[in-house]
Amino acid sequence: MKKSVRMRDFAKSPKTKKSLKFLVLGIAVFGCTFFSVSAQSNAFTSEEATRVSATNTRSAESGFGEQEFRRGVQAYYRGAFNDAIVQFEKALAYLPAENMILDWLGKAYYRSGIEGSALQQWEYASQQGYGGLLLKNKIEILRERRITDNFYDTPVKYTESGSFSGVNGENLVFSQPISILPNPDGTAWVLAYGSNELICLDVNGIVTIRSTGPLNGFDRPMDIIRLENGNLLVSEFAGDRISEFNQYGFLVKSFGEKGRGVGGLVGPQYLAQDDDGNIYVSDFGNSRIDVFDKDGNPLFFFGGKQADFAGLKAPTGVAVADGSVFVADAVTGAIYRFDTAGNYIGLLCREKTFTHPESIKPWGNYLVICDKNKVYSIDKETGSLFENVSTGNAPSQITCAVPDANGNILVTDFKTNEIYVMSKMSELIGGLLVQVDRVDSKAFPKVVLDVKVENRRRQSVVGLKDNNFVVTEEKLPVADFKLEGAGYVNDVADITLVLDRSQESAAYSEAMESAVQELATAMGNKGTLRIISAGVMPVVEYEGAPSGAVKFTCRQLKNPVANDVQLDVALRLASNALINGENKRAVVLVSAGTVTPNAFEQYGLADLTTYMNNNSISLVSILLNQGSPDSEISYLCSNTEGGQYYVYRTQGLSGVVGDIINIPCGLYRISYTSRLQTAFGEKYLPVEVETYLLNRSGRDSTGYFAPLE
């Protein structure tokens, strides 16, 4: 009895299970060969012997190819993309006709920033009938990105991709939406004129916050903007006041009162703020623009009759951009330009251009204005118009249109009591680009996925909830699905500083020290800070908690000043260090804004840009002087959603870290319990992820290996 118990325990041990597995496989192969030979007995010819030998050779090559493929998948999920490329190419040498390996080789090239090679692998696999429409759509999106870099810098037509109604069955959700303010996390604040409230909607149109305003309630709220401190500012048309709220919708203070003197209001409508924090209010009743400082103290008003200006009749929308104040007039149908002191400059759009203009909002090089049932983009320099949105001939009164964090335009329709989500036609047809960046199966059967969701322009899609995802294995729903987290809500960033050691930048050592110290302090000892010096070769100078660099000096740098700085290698090294970092991550280049002649000899600008974009890394530039940076630096910053800052700017550099954290991040972490059999960890396990948002969707199909048993 004791012996039988020991034998049973022996059979259950992991080593024995693995040995038995190979023993069974060996017996099966031997048995097949044995029965094949026995059946032929004396008739076994040399030709048949050659055929059996070829079969065994193919089996051996298949085994070696599968091993290399497994190693490649594991390297890919570790973020070692160059190693993954080597492993997949070895696997292809053994199995040249296996399209799945081609697909994975394309993925590894893509994450390495070599998109041309990635497209070649995917196109070849697609031509062999692999991947279907899913792979063809991915190829189309990537090809479009590569050849239409500036396509989205010009205005385009938008069409409705969804809407949120103010009525849900017999329940009133909101009444007469009049203004809307998008948030970086994909939600949006909506002012409801009819129901006198401020509500917050998520990307699916669900109300998450509802505020009735001051203690005595809102009195016909009109417009909402975000102040430079992050708080919200709301105008009340019938209340003749301006109210400030915090980011959660709680009242901070109110200012302004009914009257005609300085600080007086009679029917305040739309709001704007300039770079100094001053607040501009279109005062409909007084036919003027009132100006308050950032604390709500009245400064002056303007818009009256001047020598070459007849005066405002019925001011509505107001916007501040590039040092000018733009004001729309509902009576004249024109847009007038003033300076920030209230002096009339001239017409941007002549009279009778618009029927009844409402809000004006800055958007890049353009102003977005609403006019009855249409939304236009206006060139700020020439005043030329482009029609972005039209609601058709149905009764409509569009009062506000703003771009959101996901590349859409959110439009409020006062008359129909609806909020429209408008998207580019190409986005609706092509859908979303969904990519599984990483699979963690260490705790199998629990599996964790990192999923990236973008639109066709590379913009991250933020604000998605668990009901926006469907995960399947072999087309069957998984068990215990859970959205573990989303990158857009993270308040921690990993930052790698690249310090330029060129002769030009070395002349600003004091400014460089100030930049490093200020950024390290602003990180609040959260996340990981790395410092890389860019010289003839890059050198990692520091890696650790930000607090370790708050007393940084240039004397600590080991890399000497050089005439030729390999900036491309330094940026590539800095990006490598962030691959497995926090979801919010950025490279910050601290330099005088100049590049040496051979700065991008090894890695071109296109390859660096795609490498950073494909791994959710932004490049931010800190300029040590007030000149304009070289075109190479500007190109990298503008194409990776990064910004450019002067080291001694008025606001300081503390806000740079906040700006990095506020860059949209479309990474989501999903967990589930797998039902698949692993074959002792040798079997490739498929998984599919679909994402739905209103009328748009996207899908990715990938796979992984469970731990070996």
Within a domain: residue 136?
no
CATH of the domain at 453: 2.60.40
The band of 1, judged by pLDDT with boundaries at 50, 70 and 90, is very low
Confirm whether 112 is domain-assigned. Answer: no
Answer yes or no: do 304 and 442 share one domain. no
176, 179, 260 from 193: Cα distances, Å? 5, 9, 24
Compute the C-alpha angle 73/602/436, nearest 5°. Answer: 25
Residue where one domain finishes, among candidates 396, 427, 458: 427
pLDDT surpasses 70 at 453: yes
The tokens of 619 are what? 């490049």
**Contact 625/508 with Cβ under 8 angstroms?**
yes
In a domain, 508, yes or no: yes
What Cα–Cα distance (Å) separates residue 575 from each residue in 512, 526, 579, 601? 21, 19, 7, 17
646 domain residue, yes or no: yes
Instruction: Based on the fold, state whether residues 674 and 692 are members of the same structural domain.
Output: yes
pLDDT, residue 688, reads 97
List C-alpha distances in Å: 407 to 403, 456, 461, 605.
6, 10, 8, 25
Question: CA 357, 361, 366 angle in degrees (round to 5)?
Answer: 100
Q: Does 167 reside within a domain?
A: yes
For the chain, give me the number of helices (H) and strands (E)? 14, 42
CB 365 within 8 A of CB 375: no
Structure tokens at 691: 């994402």
The model's pLDDT over 587-634, given as tens digits with 9 standing for 90+, comes to 999 999 999 998 999 999 999 999 999 999 999 999 999 888 999 999
Total domains present in the chain: 4
Whether 85 is in a domain gets the answer: no
Residue 56 has pLDDT above 60, yes or no: no
pLDDT over 70 (residue 33): no
Q: Alpha carbon 191 to chain centroid distance?
A: 26
Give me the helix-helix angle, 46-78 and 99-111, nearest 10°.
30
Give me the mean pLDDT over the 202-209 stretch: 94
pLDDT above 90: percentage of residues in the chain = 75
497 with 479, same domain?
A: no
pLDDT tops 90 at residue 112: yes
Same domain, 252 and 207: yes
Domain-embedded: residue 83: no
Do 393 and 371 form a contact (C-beta atoms < 8 A)? no
Give the angle subtended at the CA of 79 by the CAs of 76 and 85, to the nearest 5°: 45
Domain carrying residue 435: 431-489+666-705
Peptide bond between residue 445 and the one before it cis (omega within 30 degrees of 0): yes
The CATH number of the domain holding residue 642 is 3.40.50.410
- Quote the distance between the C-alpha of residue 24 and its chain's center: 50
Identify the CATH number of the domain in which residue 236 sits: 2.120.10.30
Split at pLDDT 50, 70, 90, the class of 307 is confident
Question: What is the pLDDT at residue 627?
Answer: 85
Crossing angle between the packed helical segments 81-94 and 99-111, to the nearest 10 degrees: 160
Which run of H or of E encompasses 6?
helix 2-12
> Within a domain: residue 179?
yes
Q: In the chain, pLDDT over 70 holds for what percent of residues?
A: 91
- Per-residue pLDDT for 638 more than 50? yes
Dihedral sign (CA 9, 13, 19, 25): positive
Q: In the listed set 401, 427, 453, which residue is the last one of a domain according to the structure? A: 427
Give yes or no: residues 465 and 583 share one domain: no
Q: For residue 147, name the pLDDT band (cuts at 50, 70, 90).
A: low
Shared domain check, 265 and 166: yes
**Shared domain check, 452 and 465:** yes
Side-chain-side CA neighbours of 288 within 13 Å: the count stands at: 20
**One domain, residues 177 and 276:** yes
| Domain identity same for 254 and 162 | yes
- Residue (of 306, 312, 309) closest to 331 by Cα position: 312
Report the chain's mean pLDDT, rounded to a whole number: 88
Q: Give the global pTM.
A: 0.85
Same structural domain, 588 and 683:
no
Q: Which two tokens stand for residue 154?
A: 């010009």
Q: Does one domain contain both 374 and 349?
A: yes
pLDDT greater than 60 at residue 226 = yes
Residue 675 clears pLDDT 70, i.e. is over it = yes
Distance set, CA 145 to CA 151, 457, 584 (Å):
9, 7, 23
Instruction: Supply the pLDDT for residue 144.
Output: 82
Do 307 and 252 have their domain in common? yes
* Sequential DSSP letters for 635-679: HHHHTTT--EEETT-TT-SHHHHHHHHTS---EEEEEEE-----T
The pLDDT tens digits for 574-588 are 999 999 999 999 999
